[in-house]
Amino acid sequence: MPQTYGLELEMVGLTHSEIAAAIETVEEATFAGSFGYHGSRRLGLRHARMDGSHNDCRWVTETDSSLSCRITGKTAEIVSPILHGQAGLAHARRIMKAVVRAGGKVNKTCGTHVTMGVANCSARFVRMGEAAKARVAGRIYELYDYFWDAICSLVAPSRRNNSYCSRPNTRWISGGMKFGVGTKAHYQANLHNMCDRGAVNLNNFRSSGIIEFRMHNGTLNGQKISNWAMLQHRIVSWACNTAPMDFRNFEQSLDGLFEMVNVNAQLRTALLERAAETSPVTPTQRSWA
């Protein structure tokens, strides 16, 4: 089953109608309307499938009061349909390129959210009971905390101490951090404590099997977002399909993260190049009780 993705691209510099015109230049894409904050969800357009049909490749824009642009005053969030696997990410790259050609930009108020359907990553996940599924979510939540500095090195400084994508708060977890080897019962009991709108948003995990990754800075560079999305895919696939392993057996570095979740050489090179572009990360401390 191909991994499914959803993208929310926060941007500045274009009106909603200018974005619409840019999207309509891309083959197989349809602009389905402009909405208020989360307005398209109520009409079900967020869940339109991208299956190759022109009418199903529906993109929308929404307003977001967290965005600002002193130069033009023009802000918007572009919301994708459900994107399927590598073909879906390639389609998104074409959309982003068209928006850039039209004059779209990002600034420090912008972020990029990647939503993933976990059930589409693994047939094994579909067969799991509720407790086993909670352990998948808990392992991802703890992974983000354990490798926090490494993940921060892949994003702009504006996203490292940002209330919209905060570090997972493992202090809320009864019994403390288990470094990926907690029991199913432990993660199931604590899943509600992991449901927040931080770097890893699990609010829709229990009901829909969806995880939103909110850490990445605003960008209209399709390749950067593809690489980021593929890293999240590796993390989700690892959490679903591998036996429990103790994070403490791996260095809290990109190399340690890549080794643990089995990132391939090509993606590894691209992500290391991305880390070299960003500002150095100031190491943080976490006391695990």
What pLDDT does residue 217 have? 97
What pLDDT does residue 49 have? 40
Cβ contact 288:152 at 8 Å:
no
Q: Quick one: tokens of 206?
A: 């229990």
Cα 175 to Cα 5, 64, 193: the distances in Å are: 33, 37, 12
Look at the alpha carbons of 263, 266, 269, 275 in this order and tell me if their dihedral is positive or negative. Answer: negative
Cα 18 to Cα 21, 29, 75, 221: the distances in Å are: 5, 15, 11, 19
Look at the alpha carbons of 181, 183, 189, 195 in this order and tell me if their dihedral is positive or negative. Answer: positive
What pLDDT does residue 228 have? 98
Q: Rounded to an integer, what distance in angstroms lies between the CA atom of residue 52 and that of residue 78?
A: 20
Burial 51-60 (b: 16+ CB within 10 A, else e): eeeeeebbbb
What pLDDT does residue 283 have? 81
Phi, psi for 173 (deg, rounded to 5): -85, 120
Which residue from 46, 248, 243, 263 is spatially nearest to 154, judged by alpha carbons? 263
Q: Rounded to an integer, what distance in angstroms lies between the CA atom of residue 151 and that of residue 144?
A: 7
What are the pLDDT digits (tens) for 193-227? 999 889 999 999 998 899 999 999 999 999 999 99
Cβ contact 68:198 at 8 Å:
no
What is the residue-level pLDDT of the chain in tens, covering all 289 positions? 789 999 999 999 999 999 999 999 998 898 988 887 776 665 554 444 444 444 467 899 999 889 999 888 999 999 999 899 999 999 999 999 999 999 999 999 999 999 999 987 778 898 999 999 999 999 999 999 999 999 999 999 999 989 999 999 988 899 999 999 999 999 999 999 999 889 999 999 998 899 999 999 999 999 999 999 999 999 999 999 999 999 999 999 999 999 999 999 999 999 999 999 999 998 876 644 3
Residues in the chain: 289
What pLDDT does residue 172 have? 86
Q: Quick one: tokens of 49?
A: 């499938």
What pLDDT does residue 50 have? 42
Question: Helix (H, G, I), strand (E, B), or coil: what is residue 210?
Answer: strand
What pLDDT does residue 98 have? 98
Rg (CA), the chain: 19
Q: Which amino acid is at 82?
A: I
What pLDDT does residue 286 have? 62
Q: Rounded to an integer, what distance in angstroms lies between the CA atom of residue 248 and that of residue 263?
A: 18
Tokens 């779209």 -> residue: 104
Burial 14-48 (b: 16+ CB within 10 A, else e): bebebbbebbeebeebbbbbbbeeebbeeeebbeb
Phi, psi for 188 (deg, rounded to 5): -65, -40
What pLDDT does residue 45 have? 47
With 0-12 CB in 10 A as exposed, 13-18 as middle and 19+ as buried, what is 70? Answer: exposed
| Crossing angle of the two packed helices 16-23 and 85-101, in degrees rounded to 10 | 130
What pLDDT does residue 122 have? 79
